[in-house]
């Protein structure tokens, strides 16, 4: 029903390591990002959330923050940059950084939990870790779900029809749905906190 419906306007920022990885081919980078957005839009329908791409920023000259192997440091820098710069230029609810930097250890993404609409905290960082677009898209959806209050799934969370997008490690499959637990956590967070920035239909 429409009372449940939310609208999440996101900005994807593509860092300079991505520009190098794709040899400065911005049409190719854009196509790669748009394909991911299509994938996550499909996944988020189950949560009654419309994903709207409000902006795609490509750091073609140089990085505007220090992107490093520490995902934690990169996340913090990106959040601070969003609050002092991006938020004043583009109207949006959430920003995600896409990088070709290899984060330390097995980390391929990081985000703050239950932080939607917070200027410094409504962010995530994603490593472009696979040549399979859908797998990077699932990581993107996963980090955005953390911002929406969804934690990692426990083993007993999975219904028969579900393959968890919040499972660690992310399961490689053609379709990833959110589990019942993710759905409940997201709805609880939205009804309890009611983050105001995702109420308006753009």
Select the more confidently predicted residue: 44 or 123: 123
Identify the band that residue 18 occupies on the pLDDT scale cut at 50, 70 and 90: very high
Whether the CB-CB separation of 140 and 130 falls below 8 Å is answered with no
pLDDT in tens, 84-110: 999 999 999 999 999 999 999 989 999
Q: Measured between alpha carbons, how far is residue 143 from residues 3, 114, 168, 178 in Å?
A: 25, 11, 12, 13
Distance separating alpha carbons of residues 158 and 161, to the nearest angstrom:
8
Active-site annotation, residues: 143
Q: What is the pLDDT of residue 43?
A: 84
- Give the residue from 95, 93, 75, 73 showing the smallest Cα distance to 6: 93
Q: At what angle do helices 133-147 and 26-45 cross, to 10 degrees?
A: 60
Identify the band that residue 197 occupies on the pLDDT scale cut at 50, 70 and 90: very high
Exposed, middle or buried by CB within 10 Å (0-12, 13-18, 19+), for 78?
buried
pLDDT at 34 over 90: yes
pLDDT in tens, 120-165: 999 999 999 999 998 899 889 989 999 999 876 555 554 433 344 5
Burial code (b: 16+ CB inside 10 Å, e: under 16) for 157-191 equals bbeeebbbbbbeebeeeeebbbbebbbebbeebbe
- Give the residue from 99, 183, 97 showing the smallest Cα distance to 148: 183
Annotated binding site for Zn(2+): 142, 146, 152
Q: What is the pLDDT of residue 159?
A: 44
Select the more confidently predicted residue: 166 or 93: 93
Side-chain-side CA neighbours of 178 within 13 Å: the count stands at 29
Domains of the chain: 6-190 (3.40.390.10)
pLDDT at 175 over 90: no
Annotated binding site: 9, 93, 142, 146, 152, 197, 200
Question: Model's pTM, two decimal places?
Answer: 0.90
- Give the residue from 82, 164, 185 showing the smallest Cα distance to 125: 82
């Amino acid at each position: 029903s429409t009372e449940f419906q939310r609208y999440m306007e996101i900005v994807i920022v593509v860092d300079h390591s991505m520009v190098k990885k794709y040899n400065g081919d911005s049409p190719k980078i854009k196509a790669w990002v748009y394909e991911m957005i299509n994938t996550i839009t499909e996944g988020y329908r189950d949560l009654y959330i419309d994903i709207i791409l409000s902006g795609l920023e490509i750091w073609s000259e140089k990085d505007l923050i220090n992107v490093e192997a520490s995902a934690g440091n990169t996340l913090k820098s990106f959040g601070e940059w969003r609050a002092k710069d991006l938020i004043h230029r583009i109207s949006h609810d959430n920003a995600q950084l896409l990088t070709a930097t290899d984060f330390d250890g097995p980390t391929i993404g990081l985000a703050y939990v239950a932080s939607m609409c917070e200027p410094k905290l409504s962010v995530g960082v994603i490593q472009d870790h696979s040549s399979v677009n859908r797998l990077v898209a699932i990581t993107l959806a996963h980090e955005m779900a953390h911002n929406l209050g969804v934690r990692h799934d426990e083993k007993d969370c999975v219904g028969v029809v579900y393959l968890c997008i919040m499972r660690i490690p992310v399961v490689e499959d053609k379709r990833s749905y959110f589990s019942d637990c993710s759905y409940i956590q997201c709805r609880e967070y939205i009804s309890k906190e009611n983050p105001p920035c995702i109420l308006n239909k753009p």
